[in-house]
């Protein structure tokens, strides 16, 4: 057996065993439970949700909102963080403001976002954007501070304008660290998007799992739980792959 | 190529330039002219402010007193007309750009149209002997070749003035000598004016038309500029013959005292 396959099979052993135990419990002692359903039934419910299209619609909504919020938060954090990182004066003036706003829990903004935007994608991605903005701002600022001052002198010696200096010198120099930051932000974005849906927004995967719970359908609820975990795993794996690819490219280049 | 004294406006003038760092006077007020086409070397022990003087000439730091004039205009910041070769070539090159890409940066900065860049990059790389390495990345090159790449980028700026901050200080002796000869040739071919900082006395005498010796810890009685010496060794210079020339040996003896203490 190829060693890679062995590793995968060994890794799968424990989850499969747990699933089998749950199946046994749900069909045996927990037969009358309103909270649990056998995994086999959950799988059937997942298949049904996939067949009637509700699975894909909800997934697309959640991923779309998370991606939009991430894009907005990342763009703002990139511009502001670069500025605060490169200008010592801007860093000093903004320090306290950032430290005061950063600990505000993003989900505490849900009521405000609802008042401003109502239900829908806009309130969701605005909360996501707020949630990812602060950690990204701190990471981008650190990345900008670590750009070699010699490279900035080269830019100055060549009289590069602010836009060219950013695009040709600062951004490529920060790129490996930006990908690390992006990977962290992806995880936050997905968690916050689902949380907003569970708490308030009647759309997406978070709302679907809430609905299944409220209609006392544990099989469907477990199906959504399993699916959300799977989507989270896939999104994080994608982000990790992107980061490693970027690191390798930069490694080959420098 | 020593231009006769009084031949036109100086390309660079230090007009009472003084530099203070942390409340201490590193460089006492210094007035020196650099004439067009001249190769001026600045030597001195570490901490004498020679690199700071060069950085003031480039516009990276503002002098604490006095002013730097380039072509009669006060210097307020760096200019593409004055190229700067850093000692640490490894940090001055963009690691994510190939050699050609690094040279191209100077052309992009100058707004050269994309179509004209490739032939000009090729031509500059040819002059510094890197034509075969255009596609390589800085980390794939030896130190000497990285410094050639940085010099190529500076030449691509088409500067009138070349400022070099101990450019060969980190290189081995063989590479250093061949680069000295090449820079000397390039500079004379292109009629460049050079301000060259080094702690290597022999390098200064070998390359320079004039050598400015600075001393550390200047006082009122002993200002920063210890001596300005014309190098009158007849050219063309060569590593073997120039360094055995009686005038070379005499200058080395004369200037040595400024470095020893």
In this structure, the answer to whether residues B163 and B73 fall within a common structural domain is yes
Chain B: give the shortest CA distance to residue A251, in Å: 9
pLDDT in tens, B38-70: 999 999 988 888 999 999 999 999 999 999 999
Nearest to B80 among A153, A159, A173 (CB): A159
In this structure, the answer to whether residues B148 and B248 fall within a common structural domain is no
Q: What is the mean pLDDT of residues A182-190?
A: 93
pLDDT tier for residue A254 given thresholds of 50, 70 and 90: very low
Question: Are B38 and B207 spatial neighbours (Cβ–Cβ below 8 Å)?
Answer: no
Question: Which domain does B17 fall in, by range?
Answer: 1-81+159-261
In this structure, the answer to whether residues B256 and B217 fall within a common structural domain is yes
Q: Is residue B242 part of a domain?
A: yes
Question: Are B206 and B237 spatial neighbours (Cβ–Cβ below 8 Å)?
Answer: yes
Output phi, psi for A2, to 5 deg.
-60, 145
- What is the pLDDT at residue B4? 45
Instruction: Please judge whether B106 and A254 are an interchain contact, meaning their C-beta atoms are less than 8 angstroms apart.
Output: no
Contacts of residues A45-48 at CB distance under 8 Å and 24 or more positions apart, as own/partner, are A45/A217, A45/A219, A45/A220, A45/A222, A45/A223, A46/A223, A46/A226, A46/A227
Question: Are B61 and B33 spatial neighbours (Cβ–Cβ below 8 Å)?
Answer: no
Task: For residue A172, give the chain B residue with the closest CA.
Answer: B96
Q: B136, B158, B180: which is the final residue of a domain?
A: B158
Q: B140, B158, B176: which is the final residue of a domain?
A: B158
In this structure, the answer to whether residues B164 and B54 fall within a common structural domain is yes
Question: Which CATH number fits the domain that encloses residue A195?
Answer: 1.10.3720.10
pLDDT in tens, A205-214: 999 999 999 9
Q: Is residue A1 part of a domain?
A: no
Residues of A within 8 A of B108 (CB-CB) are 164, 168
pLDDT above 90 (res A186): yes
* Domain tally, chain B: 2
In this structure, the answer to whether residues B23 and B121 fall within a common structural domain is no
Residues of B within 8 A of A160 (CB-CB) are 109
Q: Is residue A31 part of a domain?
A: no
pLDDT tier for residue A8 given thresholds of 50, 70 and 90: confident
- Cα dihedral sign, A156-A158-A160-A166: negative
Question: Are B207 and B1 spatial neighbours (Cβ–Cβ below 8 Å)?
Answer: no
Beta partners for residue B163, in sequence order? B84, B195
Q: Is residue A43 part of a domain?
A: no
Q: Which of A71-85, A116-130, B238-252 has the lowest mean pLDDT?
A: B238-252
Instruction: Please judge whether B96 and A148 are an interchain contact, meaning their C-beta atoms are less than 8 angstroms apart.
Output: no
In B, what residues contact A, Cβ < 8 A?
A: 58, 60, 77-80, 83-84, 86, 88, 91-92, 94-97, 105-106, 108-110, 137-139, 157
pLDDT in tens, chain B (261 residues): 444 444 568 999 999 999 998 888 888 999 999 999 999 999 998 888 899 999 999 999 999 999 999 998 999 999 999 999 999 999 999 999 999 999 999 999 999 999 999 999 999 999 999 999 999 999 999 999 999 999 999 999 999 999 999 999 989 999 999 999 999 999 999 999 999 999 999 999 999 999 999 988 888 888 888 889 999 887 778 888 888 898 999 999 888 887 765
In this structure, the answer to whether residues B66 and B33 fall within a common structural domain is yes
Chain B: give the shortest CA distance to residue A243, in Å: 16
Q: How, if at all, do strands B12-21 and B161-165 pair?
A: unpaired
* Domain tally, chain A: 1
Decide if A157 touches B, using CB distance below 8 A. yes
In this structure, the answer to whether residues B255 and B177 fall within a common structural domain is yes
- What is the pLDDT at residue B3? 43
Q: What is the mean pLDDT of residues A19-45?
A: 86
In this structure, the answer to whether residues B200 and B254 fall within a common structural domain is yes
- Indicate the SS3 state at residue B33: strand
Q: Is residue A79 part of a domain?
A: yes
Nearest to B91 among A150, A157, A252 (CB): A150
Q: Which of A16-20, A23-27, A190-194 has the highest mean pLDDT?
A: A190-194
Chain A: give the shortest CA distance to residue B221, in Å: 36
Question: Are B216 and B47 spatial neighbours (Cβ–Cβ below 8 Å)?
Answer: yes
Chain A: give the shortest CA distance to residue B140, in Å: 8
- What is the pLDDT at residue B153? 96
Task: Give pTM, 2 decimals.
Answer: 0.83
Listed by number, the residues of chain A in 62-81 with a beta carbon closer than 8 Å to a beta carbon of chain B are: none
Beta partners for residue B85, in sequence order? B164
In this structure, the answer to whether residues B145 and B166 fall within a common structural domain is no
Q: Is residue B86 part of a domain?
A: no
Residues of A within 8 A of B138 (CB-CB) are 254
Question: Which domain does A238 fall in, by range?
Answer: 53-253
- What is the pLDDT at residue A250? 64
Task: For residue B85, give the chain A residue with the closest CA.
Answer: A154
Decide if A151 touches B, using CB distance below 8 A. yes
Non-local (6+) Cβ contacts of B225 within 8 A are B30, B32, B212, B213, B214
Q: B110, B142, B158: which is the final residue of a domain?
A: B158
In this structure, the answer to whether residues B174 and B74 fall within a common structural domain is yes
Q: What is the mean pLDDT of residues A65-90?
A: 94
pLDDT tier for residue A1 given thresholds of 50, 70 and 90: low
pLDDT above 80 (res A34): no
pLDDT in tens, B213-253: 998 888 888 888 888 999 988 777 888 888 889 899 999 98
Q: How far apart are CA B132 and CA B180, in angstroms?
A: 21
- What is the pLDDT at residue B7? 54
Q: Is residue A9 part of a domain?
A: no
Q: How far apart are CA B131 and CA B116, in angstroms?
A: 17
Nearest of B61, B14, B12 to residue B193 by alpha carbon: B12
Question: Are B151 and B128 spatial neighbours (Cβ–Cβ below 8 Å)?
Answer: yes
Q: Average model confidence (pLDDT) for chain A?
A: 90
In this structure, the answer to whether residues B170 and B97 fall within a common structural domain is no
Q: How many CB pairs under 8 A join A and B?
A: 59
Task: For residue B96, give the chain A residue with the closest CA.
Answer: A253
Residues of A within 8 A of B75 (CB-CB) are none
Q: Is residue A38 part of a domain?
A: no
Q: What is the mean pLDDT of residues A101-112?
A: 88
Chain A: give the shortest CA distance to residue B136, in Å: 9
Question: Are A49 and A56 spatial neighbours (Cβ–Cβ below 8 Å)?
Answer: no
Q: How far apart are CA B257 and CA B259, in angstroms?
A: 5
Q: Is residue B87 part of a domain?
A: no
Q: How far apart are CA A13 and CA A20, in angstroms?
A: 11
In this structure, the answer to whether residues B176 and B234 fall within a common structural domain is yes
Q: Is residue B31 part of a domain?
A: yes
Q: Is residue B185 part of a domain?
A: yes
| Strands in B99-255 per DSSP E | 161-165, 193-197, 210-214, 225-230
Task: For residue A148, give the chain B residue with the closest CA.
Answer: B91
Q: Is residue A148 part of a domain?
A: yes
Q: Is residue A117 part of a domain?
A: yes
């Amino acid at each position: 057996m190829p060693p890679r396959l062995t590793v995968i099979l060994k890794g799968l052993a424990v989850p499969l065993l747990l699933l089998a135990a749950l199946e046994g419990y749900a069909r045996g002692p927990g037969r009358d439970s309103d909270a649990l359903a056998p995994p086999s039934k959950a799988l059937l419910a997942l298949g049904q949700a996939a067949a009637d299209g509700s699975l894909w619609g909800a997934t697309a909504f959640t991923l779309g909102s998370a991606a939009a919020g991430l894009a907005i938060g990342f763009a703002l954090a990139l511009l502001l963080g670069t500025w605060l990182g490169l200008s010592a004066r801007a860093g000093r003036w903004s320090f306290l403001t950032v430290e005061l706003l950063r600990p505000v829990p993003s989900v505490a903004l849900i009521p405000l976002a609802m008042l401003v935007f109502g239900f829908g994608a806009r309130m969701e991605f605005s909360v996501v954007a707020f949630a990812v903005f602060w950690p990204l701002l701190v990471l981008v600022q650190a990345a900008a501070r670590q750009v070699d001052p010699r490279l900035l002198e080269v830019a100055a010696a060549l009289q590069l304008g602010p836009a060219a200096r950013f695009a040709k010198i600062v951004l490529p120099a920060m790129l490996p660290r930006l990908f690390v930051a992006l990977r962290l932000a992806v995880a936050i974005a997905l968690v916050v998007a689902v949380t907003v849906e569970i708490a308030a927004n009647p759309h997406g995967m978070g709302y679907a799992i809430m609905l299944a719970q409220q209609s006392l359908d544990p099989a469907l609820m477990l199906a959504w739980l399993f699916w959300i975990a799977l989507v989270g795993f896939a999104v994080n794996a994608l982000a990790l792959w992107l980061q490693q690819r970027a690191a390798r490219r930069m490694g080959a280049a420098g | 190529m020593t231009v006769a004294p009084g031949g036109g406006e100086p390309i660079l003038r230090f007009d009472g330039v003084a530099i203070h760092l942390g409340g201490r006077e590193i460089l006492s007020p210094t007035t020196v002219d650099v004439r067009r086409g001249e190769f001026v070397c600045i030597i001195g022990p570490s901490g004498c402010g020679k690199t700071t003087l060069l950085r003031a000439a480039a516009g990276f730091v503002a002098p604490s007193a006095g002013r730097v004039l380039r072509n009669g205009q006060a210097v307020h910041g760096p200019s593409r007309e004055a190229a700067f070769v850093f000692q640490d070539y490894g940090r001055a090159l963009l690691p994510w750009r190939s050699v050609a890409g690094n040279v191209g940066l100077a052309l992009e900065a100058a707004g050269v149209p994309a179509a004209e860049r490739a032939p000009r990059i090729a031509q500059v790389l040819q002059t510094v002997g890197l034509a075969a390495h255009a596609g390589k990345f800085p980390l794939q090159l030896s130190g000497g070749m990285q410094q050639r790449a940085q010099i190529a980028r500076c030449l691509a700026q088409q500067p009138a003035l070349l400022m070099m901050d101990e450019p060969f200080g980190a290189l081995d002796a063989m590479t250093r000598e061949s680069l000295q000869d090449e820079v000397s040739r390039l500079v004379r071919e292109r009629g460049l004016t050079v301000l060259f900082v080094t702690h290597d006395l022999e390098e200064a005498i070998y390359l320079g038309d004039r050598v400015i010796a600075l001393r550390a810890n200047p006082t009122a009685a002993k200002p920063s500029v210890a001596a300005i010496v014309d190098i009158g060794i007849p050219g063309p210079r060569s590593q073997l013959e120039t360094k055995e020339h009686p005038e070379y040996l005499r200058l080395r003896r004369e200037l040595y005292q400024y470095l020893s203490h």
